[in-house]
Structure 1
């Protein structure tokens, strides 16, 4: 075992070219896995199978197929679409083309019963009631609903829908909305945004590193190591999916933050080695000795920081969100991969370089080194004042913890002026909304009295003023009433009643409808099962915030409970749909963050206790990350940054980076008091030596400020919070941790 360890430790210096070759070959093998990555845009898969709304949802999908619709609306403002024969002709063509797509189950349109175009217009063919159902109030836009097949790739569906609409409706204003549209369009939008902004961010990172390390080669090898870590990790994700077939290893909307997090962590390891090597070369005047001294002092802390950071991400295994589990496992692997490359590949690149030891970069302090020295002296000279001021800042920030809000509605991730938000707002305001809300009803619906009860509940919910966001609903009762009306017209009977006389008459009416309408059977199968013991009330509503979704869900559930008491109905009602998912997702995101924080802090303290052999070091190690968590989430609450399933990932980043800085600090301090057998100036020298790479790490990650210019709100937040996380963790290490050590010196055992 020791022989293997020694070979690992000495390989970069004894056989640097072999080390580089092995590293590149390993990354190449892992990188092949990128071709096996599957992009998954199914938002519903993020929910555990055992939550009530998901169980109901799966049951509905099995019985009725998809209840989520992609909304397409077209027209021109200020122009009536009712007399536009071209609009009707285009509508017929569009519906036909969409129905022929393999990804589409059916299209719900005003012209479902008519396919002949002729010279017809909407006004000449349809009743006012039918027209009002599919058009906006001014009759300038008409809409239809595409029902996708189950388990398809919504990105492919959206691509086909937009392509056909572009060819057919080039003279009209076109809008798209609905959950299938969002889940199909959002991943592409985020990917494009990240690619362009990450390029800017990386460029800024490289420039800032170059200005401080004063060596293009140093910057290049640090960045190359980070890039290879990213490639290897993404490939590992592909291999995991290929081998296991588990959906948790698919690339989802969560995965869009992966490049940011991996580059941050890998960059941190590289910066520590490059900065320490620069300091050792200046002191020892020999590259081999300087690299040996660098690796001797940093191998253990880099291993421990990698271990504890990986633990922070592996704590996601306990998350109630399935895809968080896969995300945590993949990132944890990436952390260890960055550790391996930083301690083998990177040193090999350093040793093969012919360094000019007389160059000014090895003689003069950089701006950051000078700044760190001044800060260190101030903290060491005034530990009580610094500690008091720091605790005061953390305490004030903690007030914001009570104001943190959760937002997991994907459409709220976009600014108001983006096309995807504008289209959704149009459908919300002009038509009947883009969010779904479904009530599953179980009972005997061959009985007319139960159908009447369905209608009663439907109207009761629609009539609630406090949930005015619900625009339109549809149920089996509507089909029965429509079929009865058509039956009376056909029979030339005048009857003002809404329903047939009795159960026998009901059967006659439904049989007539199926015999005279080829689409009737398909329409019925989407709303009631063959046994007539399960049916749906499907509602369309405006897009609402997560907080409002929770309020509406509670109101609807309480209204259903009161309805059952008032009517004595034995029908069972269960709610599901995007509205209910958002309500459930709120608690899941909060629960996931809390579990990650508590579990990570406990395990990290335990690991530090084992490796450092002291409870004092374990306590000290969690100070920076604890203060950073309070600062970050407190500031989020104070300035109104909402917690989402994307920004929640920053919990692990804060923990990883916070413990990274503290372990480097404690490890260096422990070595100094061991070598000197004295506490004199040990804390000051540690603050200078470790403070430089810490601050350099912070400065290099300022490149993520580019994400502040994203059109996607969570990416704005991630950009700002990533920078603030680096600042808060460095603040916790270089002020609070440093001042606590200074006040406790003499009581901290080596």
Structure 2
């Protein structure tokens, strides 16, 4: 059945379908959730399930740190403020417990006895003598000195351990909001600075930047794209029609994200401007084709464009769809939603936009820009082909050199600009208090328990090893608690700040211990122990390299012991994900390339023409990766997706070019066929490429650096893809004109 019989003669029915589709998509889009946690990028695999079990046993490791900077944090006014904050934070439902100077446990002893009591009692120290006595106690406790308070006593932190249980998309947002509310209701004394950091704070700030970005991206993209339509076509009616099409496509894309089980996150936020730009690409081809037809028949314009436009939508969807093999949940959701959005915009283009083409044509319009941009290029062909091949060849060699220098690194802190508060607060805590992030080590005794002095000594040896490693600032293990108890039991004699060699004495200490902090590091059966190593390092490249050293140490240390060990924790999982990203994106790119070029061979029904499509699409990807290596842009959660996405988009103009070239080649020689193809498809290629470039460049206004990098690099890929289609492809045809 022809398009005319199936669609054009049933406009009322299709208008109803369009209306119902928009209503349904709008309903779905309004229900789209927002994810504020970096958990969105962590694969839900065995490692994640173990982490959930570990967190259930020992409490959350992704705490909020409220750091205070003062001349002396042990001054009565500062201690009073810390106590006020501690009590207020303990009232927050999302907080399990609070650790601060005013409630941290201290082990005080005498002759063969000890008690566990807060470092600071009910009465705050007032005199200088009392303050110095408390400072002395703090210096003697490694769980406090250099850990909860800086060594110069100018900084301290309140550690807010979260009460997170299961999947709760709004948990961190509620938590951070309540923390800010407490701080607003309790302003600090004069001379006291407050700094806030930790995974929940970083995650909520990511979501905040994302929301702000969307408020900028959508109207900015919409305005720029509509202006581009007017600039190239000089048609107000075309601009209005395309504006409506863009809105329909945007709503459809957000609905698709909801339907595939996704949510708005820093990864999926780029879907909005991306869909808007891609929706315009098919529209430009349909409108420019219609304007050039003398008959001005809609069915004729559709007949000429539906096939290549369907292929371009399909190849772009394949590029996005290749991300489905990623182990990263948010990347899979982005790929699925973007792939589905391509078919949504194709549907609206060849129904709604096709219906209003006659109305558009009745208004003022102009395609004179084609003569200014494309005609000179076509007329001068093939004189410039030799120089073009040399330029592309040199660029290829430089790109191959740059690719060797590319590195994998997801530094979450570097996702923010240095002038943002979240960045500055994190840096302050890293420098003065050793950071908030921790690498967690799980130790399980397969036989016996950790009251075995030999096993406890192994844990202490591990702690000493970690403290010597450059990326770790502080290490807490169950051994530290027993050393404190042993010293206290022997009348605070420093010579006894060591592990007792008697199992019976360890059991006695555990019986006498009346505190609760040890529960975060040793389970009630003493068969599961936690080693927590704090780090100010954020680079996944550095952390993953250190993890390999740590694995070797753990293997050697527990080689002959009945202990199973495992690395875990939020920081470990997030940084491990960086390796997964590169592996999965390499696989995604390979899958996309095989499927897209395989499709090209099938559709073009020519091995020669199919091979001709490879260089102009491989070059932009190679050049993009080469540039990343040369300028030091790492592969991270945003930039790693560019290649698989870009190959699906970059091939679009190649398809239009080669389909038209085959039509022209049936009646002309290769040189004349290229000239005619450039005249026929050159303006649409330039227009759609500029539309995509502008659509991606809108992302550079973001305050979220991965989004900026994604926008810049994708815009570069579009520039290179356009250059390859207009210069490299014709040059290759000239070079192999006997075969093509």
Q: 1:736 aligns with which of 721, 724, 728?
A: 728
Give the corresponding residue for 1:512.
512
Deviations along 1:79-113, one digit per CA (max 9) or x if unpaired, are: 22211x33222222222222222212222222225
Deviations along 1:423-474, one digit per CA (max 9) or x if unpaired, are: 11100101121221111112221223322221121012202xxx32210011
- Displacement of 1:310 in angstroms is 0.9
Deviations along 1:607-660, one digit per CA (max 9) or x if unpaired, are: 222222222232223332211111111111122222211112222331122111
Is residue 545 of structure 1 aligned with residue 550 of structure 2? no
Q: TM-score, normalised by structure 2?
A: 0.89
Q: Secondary structure at the match of 2:438?
A: strand
Is residue 38 of structure 1 aligned with residue 38 of structure 2? no
How far, CA to CA, are the matches of 1:65 and 1:160 in structure 2? 20
Give the corresponding residue for 1:27.
22
Q: Secondary structure at the match of 1:133?
A: coil
More helix by share: 1
- Displacement of 1:422 in angstroms is 0.7
Deviations along 1:383-416, one digit per CA (max 9) or x if unpaired, are: 3443333233223222211111222122121122
- Alpha carbons of structure 1 residues 599 and 240: separation in structure 2 relative to 1, 3 Å: closer
Give the corresponding residue for 1:604.
596
Give the corresponding residue for 1:61.
55
How far, CA to CA, are the matches of 1:546 and 1:497 in structure 2? 36
- Displacement of 1:255 in angstroms is 0.8
Aligned partners of 1:436 and 1:579 also within 8 Å: yes
- Alpha carbons of structure 1 residues 504 and 661: separation in structure 2 relative to 1, 3 Å: same
Residues 713-722 or 319-328, more deviating: 319-328
After TM superposition, the structure 1 = structure 2 runs for residues 66-77 of structure 1, keeping only pairs within 5 Å, are 66-76=60-70
Aligned partners of 2:197 and 2:426 also within 8 Å: yes
Give the corresponding residue for 1:279.
292
The two structures, once aligned, show a CA RMSD in angstroms of 2.7
Q: 1:529 aligns with which of 523, 528, 541?
A: 523
How far, CA to CA, are the matches of 2:636 and 2:218 in structure 1? 21
- Alpha carbons of structure 1 residues 310 and 494: separation in structure 2 relative to 1, 3 Å: closer
How far, CA to CA, are the matches of 1:739 and 1:42 in structure 2? 49
How far, CA to CA, are the matches of 1:710 and 1:105 in structure 2? 35
- Displacement of 1:217 in angstroms is 2.2
Q: TM-score, normalised by structure 1?
A: 0.88
Q: 1:268 aligns with which of 264, 275, 281?
A: 281
The total of aligned residue pairs comes to 707
Q: 2:315 aligns with which of 308, 316, 331?
A: 308
- Alpha carbons of structure 1 residues 503 and 17: separation in structure 2 relative to 1, 3 Å: same
How far, CA to CA, are the matches of 1:705 and 1:323 in structure 2? 22
Deviations along 1:337-382, one digit per CA (max 9) or x if unpaired, are: 11111111111232344614xx4x33x611x642222223334344
Aligned partners of 1:56 and 1:440 also within 8 Å: no
Aligned partners of 1:158 and 1:185 also within 8 Å: no
How far, CA to CA, are the matches of 2:322 and 2:250 in structure 1? 21
- Displacement of 1:506 in angstroms is 1.8
Give the corresponding residue for 2:106.
none
Aligned partners of 1:297 and 1:668 also within 8 Å: no
- Displacement of 1:686 in angstroms is 0.8
Give the corresponding residue for 2:396.
394
After TM superposition, the structure 1 = structure 2 runs for residues 269-668 of structure 1, keeping only pairs within 5 Å, are 269-280=282-293, 284=294, 287=296, 289=297, 291-353=298-360, 355-356=362-363, 359=364, 361-362=365-366, 365-366=368-369, 369-443=371-445, 444-463=449-468, 467-487=469-489, 496-500=496-500, 502-514=502-514, 517=515, 520=516, 523-564=517-558, 569-581=561-573, 583-668=575-660
Give the corresponding residue for 1:168.
186
Aligned partners of 1:380 and 1:742 also within 8 Å: yes
- Displacement of 1:665 in angstroms is 0.8
Could you tell me which runs of 5 or more consecutive residues in structure 1 were left unpaired when the two chains were aligned. 242-248
How far, CA to CA, are the matches of 2:347 and 2:734 in structure 1? 34
Q: Secondary structure at the match of 1:344?
A: helix
Could you tell me which runs of 5 or more consecutive residues in structure 2 were left unpaired when the two chains were aligned. 104-116
Aligned partners of 1:261 and 1:653 also within 8 Å: no
How far, CA to CA, are the matches of 1:54 and 1:26 in structure 2? 38
Give the corresponding residue for 1:223.
243
After TM superposition, the structure 1 = structure 2 runs for residues 209-248 of structure 1, keeping only pairs within 5 Å, are 209-241=229-261
Is residue 685 of structure 1 aligned with residue 676 of structure 2? yes
- Displacement of 1:216 in angstroms is 2.3
- Displacement of 1:560 in angstroms is 2.9
How far, CA to CA, are the matches of 1:102 and 1:232 in structure 2? 38
Give the corresponding residue for 2:107.
none
- Displacement of 1:61 in angstroms is 2.3
Q: Secondary structure at the match of 2:150?
A: coil
How far, CA to CA, are the matches of 2:362 and 2:101 in structure 1? 76
Give the corresponding residue for 1:155.
173
Deviations along 1:300-348, one digit per CA (max 9) or x if unpaired, are: 0000111111111111222232332222111110011111111111112
How far, CA to CA, are the matches of 2:280 and 2:512 in structure 1? 71
Give the corresponding residue for 2:156.
142
Residues 207-216 or 376-385, more deviating: 376-385
Q: Secondary structure at the match of 1:641?
A: coil
Residues 342-351 or 117-126, more deviating: 117-126
How far, CA to CA, are the matches of 1:671 and 1:179 in structure 2? 58
How far, CA to CA, are the matches of 1:694 and 1:493 in structure 2? 81
How far, CA to CA, are the matches of 2:58 and 2:605 in structure 1? 61
How far, CA to CA, are the matches of 1:88 and 1:531 in structure 2? 36
Give the corresponding residue for 2:215.
195
Q: Secondary structure at the match of 1:253?
A: coil
How far, CA to CA, are the matches of 1:699 and 1:494 in structure 2? 72
How far, CA to CA, are the matches of 1:377 and 1:678 in structure 2? 15
- Alpha carbons of structure 1 residues 143 and 583: separation in structure 2 relative to 1, 3 Å: closer
Aligned partners of 1:110 and 1:131 also within 8 Å: no
Q: Secondary structure at the match of 1:105?
A: strand
Give the corresponding residue for 1:245.
none
Deviations along 1:684-715, one digit per CA (max 9) or x if unpaired, are: 11112211111112223343434334332212
